[in-house]
C-alpha cells in the first residue's frame, strides 16, 4: 500500500503570506482506480486534473487561509487500505485546491462552502450541506446539496445503476449526453420542471413530477429532486 500511495511533499509556507498564496501544500501519488476523499469543514473546494506538465498519477492539496489571520491546522492526509487517500480540512479556509489524478474517483464531503469540479478524468460524488455545486466532467457524478444550487454537466453515456441529484433548497440543472439511454425521475415539491428530452410530466398543487425513459431507458437511471426550486434536465450534444 505504501508503494501505491506515496506522500511526496509537505510544504508549509509562512502564515503571513498573502491570502492568495497557499500556506500548506501536499503532493502525492495515487494510481487509477483509487479514491480521493476530501472532507471540508468550511472552504471553497476547487478540483481539477493534474497541472500541465505534471504526472497523471500525482495529486495535490493546497490550502489557502482566510485573510491574514493565523491559519488553521494544515489538512491531514491518511491512506485507507482499499479506499485510497482521505483528506480532512478543518477550520475556515478561503480555498482548498485539489488536483485529482487520472482515473481516480473524487469524493467531496463539505459542511459549508461552494464546490467546483472541472474536467477531472475520473468520476465524482459530492455532498455539500451549505453551498453551490458545479461539476463538469467527461465521466459521471452524483450530487447531494442541503441548501444550494446544483449544476452538473457529464459526458458519460453509461453509469452503474441510478445517479441521484438533489437539494433541499435550490435549483438543479443537469446536462446529459443525448446519446445516453436511461430511466428518469424528476420531482419538485415547490417549483417547476423543464427538459428538452421527449418527456411528459404531471402536477399536483405546487409539485411537479416527470417519470419516463430516454432513448428506450435501460439499466441506467437519473433521479433529480428538490424540495423548493426548479429542475432542468438538458441535452448535451457531443462534439464531433
Q: Which residues of 16-104 form beta strands (DSSP E)?
A: 24-29, 35-48, 58-64, 76-80, 84-99
pLDDT value of residue 240: 58
Task: Give the position of cell 446539496.
Answer: 145
pLDDT digits 0-9 by tens, 130-150: 999 999 999 999 999 999 999
**239 or 7, which is more confident:** 239
Residue 116 — very low, low, confident or very high, per pLDDT cuts 50/70/90? very high
Q: What was the pLDDT predicted at 81?
A: 75
Tell me, what's the pLDDT at 204? Answer: 81
Widest pairwise Cα distance in the chain: 59
Instruction: For residue 192, name the pLDDT band (cuts at 50, 70, 90).
Output: very high
Q: How confident is the model at residue 69 (pLDDT cuts 50, 70, 90)?
A: confident
Q: Is the pLDDT of residue 16 over 90?
A: no
| Angstrom distances, CA of residue 215 to CA of 180, 183, 235 | 7, 9, 12
Distance CA 195, CA 206 (A): 18
Share of the chain above pLDDT 90, in %: 81
Q: Is 89 left (phi over 0), alpha (psi -120 to 50) or beta?
A: beta
pLDDT in tens, 86-100: 999 998 999 999 999
pTM recorded for the entire structure: 0.90
pLDDT at 6: 39
Q: Which residue bears the cell 404531471?
A: 202
d(C-alpha 140, C-alpha 136), whole Å? 9
Mean pLDDT of all residues in 229-236: 97
Amino acid at each position: 500500500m505504501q508503494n501505491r500511495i506515496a506522500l511526496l511533499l509537505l510544504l508549509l509556507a509562512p502564515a503571513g503570506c498573502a491570502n492568495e498564496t497557499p500556506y500548506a501544500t501536499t503532493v502525492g501519488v495515487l494510481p487509477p482506480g483509487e479514491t480521493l476523499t476530501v472532507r471540508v469543514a468550511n472552504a471553497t473546494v476547487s478540483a481539477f486534473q493534474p497541472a500541465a506538465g505534471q504526472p497523471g498519477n500525482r495529486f495535490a492539496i493546497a490550502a489557502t487561509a482566510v485573510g491574514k489571520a493565523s491559519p488553521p491546522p494544515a489538512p491531514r492526509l491518511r491512506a485507507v487500505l482499499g479506499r485510497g487517500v482521505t483528506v480532512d480540512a478543518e477550520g475556515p479556509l478561503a480555498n482548498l485546491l485539489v488536483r485529482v489524478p487520472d482515473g481516480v474517483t473524487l469524493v467531496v464531503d463539505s459542511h459549508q462552502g461552494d464546490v467546483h469540479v472541472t474536467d477531472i478524468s475520473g468520476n465524482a460524488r459530492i455532498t455539500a450541506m451549505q453551498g453551490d455545486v458545479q461539476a463538469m466532467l467527461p465521466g459521471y457524478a452524483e450530487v447531494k446539496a442541503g441548501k444550494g444550487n446544483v449544476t452538473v454537466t457529464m459526458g458519460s453515456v453509461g453509469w452503474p445503476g441510478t445517479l441521484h441529484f438533489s437539494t433541499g433548497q435550490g435549483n438543479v440543472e443537469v446536462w446529459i449526453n443525448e446519446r445516453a439511454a436511461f430511466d428518469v425521475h424528476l420531482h419538485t415539491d415547490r417549483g417547476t420542471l423543464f427538459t428538452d428530452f421527449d418527456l411528459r410530466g404531471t402536477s399536483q398543487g405546487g409539485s411537479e413530477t416527470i417519470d419516463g425513459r430516454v432513448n428506450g431507458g435501460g439499466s441506467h437511471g437519473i433521479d433529480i429532486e428538490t424540495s423548493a426550486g426548479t429542475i432542468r434536465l438538458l441535452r448535451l450534444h457531443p462534439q464531433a
